Amino acid sequence: MPEVYKHDKHKPRWPGRAYLLYLLAMPLLPALFIVPFSGDLVKLVTYYGAFASFVAGARFMKAGLVAEAEYHKRKIAAPPKTPRKLLGSLFTGAGAFICSWLAMGHSLLFAGALGVMAVAGATLFYGRDPKAPKYGEIVGGHGYTAEEVMAALTEAEEKIASIEVAARDIRNPELTNRLKRIARRARNIVDVMEDDPGGLRRARRFLNVYLDGARRVTEGYARTHRRSEAAELENNFRNVLTTIEDVFEEQHQKLLEHDALDLDVQIDVLSQQLKKQGVS
């Protein structure tokens, strides 16, 4: 999975300036409709290749700007694993090179220089991808690296996102609102994990067990409730969500107070309820 840890507090604004790169592809649009009728395969490949390069450059740059904005908004962050902004610049340069050399008929030297200038211009305008972890020394003081904390945050967010996706298939407003509250309270716990990595081990274990339980029952109910409209199934699902929601709030408060929570007891309560309710 890609780096998906993001929530409303950290969600970056869409970096629309990446759309400027799409403008480079616009002059090629008329040729894309005309060249296929010419029967010239070389021209066809040339124009479509240049267009695809510009579009790929814009898409990679857009993804890179999103990742960069998310990186800067986090207190603890590992740099993006994929250098999307660099790829965006390289594809932009490739598009400029193809257009200059094969489409416009310029010399190879001139086209190469133009491609290099396009790469350099895109890099100067959009900047480079983040390279270093943020607050690695502070995290290390708690016994965890930035990579370990980010892995925990990403893992938790993936499960929260799965709950939200499954909730869209449930047509009951009450249950949908409960799931939204569960996702919100789970993200409150994630916020505490980010602010205080010292509680990572306890919070991560809690989130793994409860988020797994919440995700499992939500996805299961979303799949089956349309085929079975039994009131008992809906009531069982409601009871499970009530338990999860209450314990999430309790865990959040305990983490804020740096108090210990008897996870074994809480986990056993959830496990028994999941087995009894039969909604997983």
Residue that the structure tokens 């309560």 belong to: 269
Tell me which of 110 and 222 has the higher pLDDT.
110
Least confident stretch, 56-65, 116-125, 166-175:
166-175
User: Average pLDDT, stretch 129-140?
Assistant: 69
Give the pLDDT band (50/70/90) at residue 87: very high
Give the pLDDT band (50/70/90) at residue 248: confident
Residues contacting residue 23 through CB under 8 Å, at least 6 positions apart: none
**What pLDDT, on the 0 to 100 scale, is given for residue 229?**
57
- The CA-CA-CA angle for residues 130, 132, 136, to 5°, reads 135
Residue 128, pLDDT > 80, answer yes
User: Average pLDDT, stretch 92-114?
Assistant: 91
**How crowded is residue 271: how many other Cβ atoms within 10 Å of its Cβ?**
12
Q: Please, which residues bridge with residue 77 across strands?
A: 134
User: Average pLDDT, stretch 132-160?
Assistant: 71
The predicted-structure confidence for 253-266, as pLDDT tens digits, reads as follows 776 666 555 555 55
Residues contacting residue 200 through CB under 8 Å, at least 6 positions apart: 142, 144, 148, 149, 152, 193
Residue 4, pLDDT > 70, answer no
Residue 119 CA to residue 280 CA, distance in Å, equals 52
Residue 64 CA to residue 81 CA, distance in Å, equals 11
- CA-wise closest residue to 200 among 268, 249, 146: 146
Mean pLDDT of the chain: 78
Tell me which of 98 and 29 has the higher pLDDT.
98
The predicted-structure confidence for 51-86, as pLDDT tens digits, reads as follows 999 999 999 999 999 888 878 877 777 788 889 999
Residue 124 CA to residue 143 CA, distance in Å, equals 38
Residues contacting residue 237 through CB under 8 Å, at least 6 positions apart: 175, 217, 221, 225, 277, 279
The predicted-structure confidence for 96-106, as pLDDT tens digits, reads as follows 999 999 888 88
**What pLDDT, on the 0 to 100 scale, is given for residue 8?**
45
Give the pLDDT band (50/70/90) at residue 168: confident
Give the pLDDT band (50/70/90) at residue 126: very high
Residue 262 CA to residue 236 CA, distance in Å, equals 25
Give the pLDDT band (50/70/90) at residue 192: confident
Give the pLDDT band (50/70/90) at residue 224: confident
The distance from CA 150 to its chain's CA centroid, rounded to whole angstroms, is 12
**What pLDDT, on the 0 to 100 scale, is given for residue 3?**
43
Residue 98 CA to residue 28 CA, distance in Å, equals 12
Whether pTM > 0.75 for this model: the answer is no
Percent of the chain with pLDDT over 90: 20
Q: What DSSP letter does each residue of the chain carry, written as one string?
A: -------TTTPPPP-GGGGGGHHHHGGGHHHHHHGGGTT-HHHHHHHHHHHHHHHHHHHHHHHHHHHHHHHHH-SSBPPPSS-HHHHHHHHHHHHHHHIIIIIS---HHHHHHHHHHHHHHHHHHH-PPP-S-BSHHHHHTTT--HHHHHHHHHHHHHHHHHHHHHHTT---HHHHHHHHHHHHHHHHHHHHHHH-GGGHHHHHHHHHHHHHHHHHHHHHHHHHTTT---HHHHHHHHHHHHHHHHHHHHHHHHHHTT----HHHHHHHHHHHHHHH---
- Could you tell me the sign of the dihedral formed by the alpha carbons of 218, 222, 224, 229, in that order? positive
**What pLDDT, on the 0 to 100 scale, is given for residue 60?**
95
